[in-house]
Structure 1
């Protein structure tokens, strides 16, 4: 039951930060007992790393979708570019799903403890 500081992000996720102080159960110098308790929670206005990556990919996907629909409206003379854009959107969808899965797995792992 050693105490650590915690960082809580605006998206609801959290992470451990610095070691705060040792409990009475660990008698060896420089060692911790392995059980972590929250000492102080620091609130961040930013999102966690995974949420930032997801937001970035969603913005990129949105821009690519807008570009593709503009090319279709203006007349599809850029067929190769349209195909490449469609493949990029598909790849971004796959990456977004993977990141969302990682975020849910992390949250489920933390909730099951």
Structure 2
């Protein structure tokens, strides 16, 4: 039952911080017993790095969708449209993977 700082973002994402205090079960200096308890929680006001990455990818995806819509109106960019649509699919998969990782971390007890 060693104590660590804890950082918490508004979205629920969290991470362990620095080691603060050693419990009485661990007698070796500099070692921890493996059980983490919260010494102090620091609330962050900004968005977490993972949310920021997802927002960036979503903005890029919206820009690509607008470009495809405009190119379809022009009519002579079939190869560019196909390439951009493939990139949009890959970007959607990346956003989904980030969302799953974020949700898993948010709901995890020990990560």
What range describes the TM-score normalised by the shorter chain of this pair? 0.7 to 0.9
Runs of 4+ that moved beyond 4 A: none
Bigger CA drift: 49-58 or 85-94? 49-58
Instruction: Provide the TM-score with structure 1 as the length reference.
Output: 0.86
1:35 positional shift: 0.9
Distance in 2, matches of 1:14 and 1:27, equals 29
Deviation at 1:103, TM superposition (A): 2.0
Once residues 30 and 21 of structure 1 are traced to their aligned partners in structure 2, the CA distance between those partners, rounded to angstroms, is 10
Q: Which consecutive unaligned segments of at least 5 residues does structure 2 have?
A: none
Aligned counterpart, 1:93: 92
Provide the secondary structure at the position in 1 that maps to 2:38: strand
The unaligned stretches of length 5 or more in structure 1 are none
**What is the aligned-residue RMSD (CA, Å)?**
1.9
Closer, same or farther: CA 20–47 of 1 in aligned 2, 3 Å:
same
Normalising by the residue count of structure 2, what TM-score does the alignment of the two structures yield?
0.87
Deviation at 1:112, TM superposition (A): 8.1
> Residues 3 and 22 of structure 2 are in contact (CA less than 8 Å); yes or no, is this contact kept in structure 1?
yes
**Deviations, residues 43-66 of structure 1 (Å, cap 9, x unaligned):** 112222322221111111011001
Aligned positions, number: 111
